[in-house]
Amino acid sequence: MATEAVGGEAPTLFLRKATGLVRGWSVRDSLIYACLATNFVTLGIYEFTFAGPAFPKGQLLTSVVISGIWVSFLVIAYAGLIVTIPRAGGDYVWQTRILGSGIGFVMAATGWWFILWLWAPIYGNILSVQFFQPIWATLKWTWPGGGYAWFGTNNGIFIVTVITIVLAGFLVSLGMGGYARIQKWCFIGGLIGFAVVVGLLLFNSHASFISSFNYEAQHMFGVKNAYAATNQAAVKAGYTTSPFGFGPLGPTMLLVPAMMFFILWPNWGATLYGEIRGASDFRRVFSGMFIGLWITVILTVIFFLLIAKTVGWGFYQNLNSLDYNATPQFGIWPYPFLFAGWLVHNTAFQVILLLVLSLWFFGWVGTLFLSSTRVIFAAAFDRVLPDRAAEVSEKRKVPFYSLVLMLVPAVILGAIYAYSTTFRTYTLDATLVIAVTYLFSAIAVVLLPFIKKDLWRASPASRIKLFGVPIVPVAGWITIALLVYNLVEWLWNDNYFVNSHDSLLYMAAMYVLAIVIFVVARIVRRRQGIDLGLINKEIPVE
């Protein structure tokens, strides 16, 4: 038998050649996943349109940096969970093992399954405003009726949502291998597209932007002197923007819960980590998520600085405020990259730039259902869901039933989203429900050293210390603080549109549904002679 000595001249352990002993994996792959999950383009820029006008006295730049620092502790806490219990299924597995089957199922079902039905129309809307509308407008296509404006109609939103759902389902059916390849090239392409935007905004002056904006707005939308008109319209609507800067802290902190819409997801790939040697390497797991998160923060800061330099901060906020008040300039969502492309008066260039930047969407859209299927599988293997939920088709290896559990409700909610403007305001519910799931994982991190002492003692996470204090549980506490702060703001501050009666009812219904499924599963299985309470009950050692 071949062996390997670890530790140089005085080895500290010997490994014999056996199944599963593999080399450490590359941080690059998980970094790409984390960076695309905290998608600065699809989610970030989309959110800034809402956040800036909703909290005009706050500073987006400062809030993104504060959010990045705060979410870094969530990354530490999740890295601790991943290396302690490296299992596919993530939050579901950790919470069922540490907090109990019921809590684990309810939190995972709501946060990784039901709420993603609502994310489907959100993804669809992003595809509409960042891809279809700007391309149609640039090419001046008039089909379907109304041209680009059609994508903003109820029918347009619904059709694009269905396209998104089909696309996400297709990427899941490709499997992680195929999707990872697509993701990698989309990430590279997306970065090239962003680099072009950086070049355009860096090497052009504020004056040339105003001139280009006015020229293209007239050429494309027939609006004269559009730059000044935008500012006047915002002032007329009563909106006053703050100059670009760093404070004040109070109103800026109110932006933090809004920033979570895009920055809370560096751990999105956590459900995908299997039991491999590398998953026990705290530094590697942490680095993938942390670097991915901070690439997002840095890209955002670069974007803000260039907006302030070339586009004009007040103008950018004014554009956003018009959209926020449902009177968007040109009747189109204010996509900054569309306007950056206007610095080159060439339609082909503008379209190609939009296509390249759309790779940020196409590399990201698969994340919509990928993790959900893992959670559904894990619950089916625990007999909480019917066995069929974990079935994979023989020929094409498609997780047919779990996809149905995602796709059908997503289409129904997509329709409600498209045809009910009230329902569209529940966008931040989508963040809130997942944050609640994260909160329970953060609680699990804090309780881990007390509830699963041996597991914690054996974990590489227990040895990561600062001044003799284990960092991971401390990071768990800081993550709890972050999530509780956000939840309090979402639930008590009207500006996030979360605390309305209907919105709360919608979220409560999801938790009730999860509880009902779990209780029914317990009853049905008990009648079948299966005690689900045994699943995580520990066998005595002595």
- By CB under 8 A, the residues from 440 to 459 that bind other proteins are 454-455, 457-458
Least distance (Å) from other proteins to the CB of residue 91? 16
- Interatomic CA distance for residues 430 and 121, integer angstroms: 11
Q: Binding to other proteins (CB under 8 A): which residues in 172-231? A: 175-177, 180
- Interatomic CA distance for residues 125 and 127, integer angstroms: 5
Nearer to other proteins, 125 or 367 (CB): 367
- Interatomic CA distance for residues 405 and 411, integer angstroms: 11
State which of residues 460, 487, 511, 513 lies at the interface with other proteins (CB under 8 A).
Answer: 460
State which of residues 326, 469, 505, 541 lies at the interface with other proteins (CB under 8 A).
Answer: 541
Least distance (Å) from other proteins to the CB of residue 378? 9
Q: Among 80-88, 160-168, 227-235, 251-259, which window interacts with other proteins (CB under 8 A)? A: 80-88
Tell me the three state secondary structure of residue 310.
helix
Q: What angle do CA 455, 456, 461 make, to 5 degrees?
A: 125
Least distance (Å) from other proteins to the CB of residue 116? 18
- Interatomic CA distance for residues 462 and 454, integer angstroms: 11
State which of residues 57, 66, 103, 383 lies at the interface with other proteins (CB under 8 A).
Answer: 383
Tracing tokens 């600065």 back to the chain, one arrives at: 40
Least distance (Å) from other proteins to the CB of residue 258? 30
Nearer to other proteins, 10 or 505 (CB): 10
Nearer to other proteins, 33 or 324 (CB): 33
- Interatomic CA distance for residues 483 and 480, integer angstroms: 5
Q: Which backbone phi and psi does 332 adopt, to 5 degrees?
A: -135, 150
Least distance (Å) from other proteins to the CB of residue 92? 12
Q: Binding to other proteins (CB under 8 A): which residues in 284-323? A: 288
List Cα–Cα distances, 514 to 331, 336, 405, 454, in angstroms. Answer: 40, 40, 13, 31
State which of residues 104, 124, 134, 278 lies at the interface with other proteins (CB under 8 A).
Answer: 278
Nearer to other proteins, 51 or 108 (CB): 108
* CA 202 to the chain's CA centroid: 28
Nearer to other proteins, 233 or 532 (CB): 532
Nearer to other proteins, 275 or 502 (CB): 275
531 binds other proteins (CB under 8 A): yes
Q: Binding to other proteins (CB under 8 A): which residues in 148-177? A: 175-177
Is the separation of the CB atoms in 76 and 282 below 8 Å?
no
Q: Binding to other proteins (CB under 8 A): which residues in 502-521? A: none
Q: Binding to other proteins (CB under 8 A): which residues in 461-480? A: 463
103 binds other proteins (CB under 8 A): no
Q: Among 276-284, 333-341, 438-446, 484-492, which window interacts with other proteins (CB under 8 A)? A: 276-284
- Interatomic CA distance for residues 149 and 108, integer angstroms: 38
15 binds other proteins (CB under 8 A): yes
State which of residues 48, 97, 241, 423 lies at the interface with other proteins (CB under 8 A).
Answer: 97
Tell me the three state secondary structure of residue 222.
coil
146 CB-contact burial (10 Å; exposed 0-12 / middle 13-18 / buried 19+): middle
Q: Binding to other proteins (CB under 8 A): which residues in 478-497? A: none
250 binds other proteins (CB under 8 A): no
State which of residues 47, 91, 216, 382 lies at the interface with other proteins (CB under 8 A).
Answer: 382
Of 366, 396, 411, the closest CA to residue 272 belongs to: 366
Nearer to other proteins, 24 or 248 (CB): 24
- Interatomic CA distance for residues 265 and 261, integer angstroms: 8
Is the separation of the CB atoms in 431 and 84 below 8 Å?
no
Nearer to other proteins, 140 or 457 (CB): 457
Token output for 530:
């299966």
Q: Among 150-158, 164-172, 215-223, 374-382, which window interacts with other proteins (CB under 8 A)? A: 374-382
Of 376, 368, 367, 319, the closest CA to residue 342 belongs to: 319
9 binds other proteins (CB under 8 A): yes
CB atoms within 10 A of CB 331: 13
- Interatomic CA distance for residues 263 and 257, integer angstroms: 10
Tracing tokens 């302030």 back to the chain, one arrives at: 308
State which of residues 26, 142, 218, 422 lies at the interface with other proteins (CB under 8 A).
Answer: 26
| H or E stretch covering 316 | helix 313-324
Interface with other proteins: number of residues (CB under 8 A): 74
Q: Binding to other proteins (CB under 8 A): which residues in 30-59? A: 30, 33
Nearer to other proteins, 249 or 520 (CB): 520
Is the separation of the CB atoms in 231 and 318 below 8 Å?
yes
CB atoms within 10 A of CB 46: 21
Nearer to other proteins, 67 or 101 (CB): 101
Token output for 82:
């991943």
Tell me the three state secondary structure of residue 384.
coil
On the CB side of 489, CA atoms within 13 Å amount to 23
Q: Binding to other proteins (CB under 8 A): which residues in 385-404? A: 387, 390-392, 394, 397
Q: Among 59-67, 83-91, 164-172, 298-306, which window interacts with other proteins (CB under 8 A)? A: 83-91
Is the separation of the CB atoms in 389 and 380 below 8 Å?
yes
- How far apart are the two ends of the chain, measured CA to CA in Å? 33
* CA 414 to the chain's CA centroid: 18
Nearer to other proteins, 29 or 323 (CB): 29
Nearer to other proteins, 50 or 87 (CB): 87
Nearer to other proteins, 504 or 530 (CB): 530
State which of residues 42, 68, 87, 94 lies at the interface with other proteins (CB under 8 A).
Answer: 87
Nearer to other proteins, 314 or 460 (CB): 460
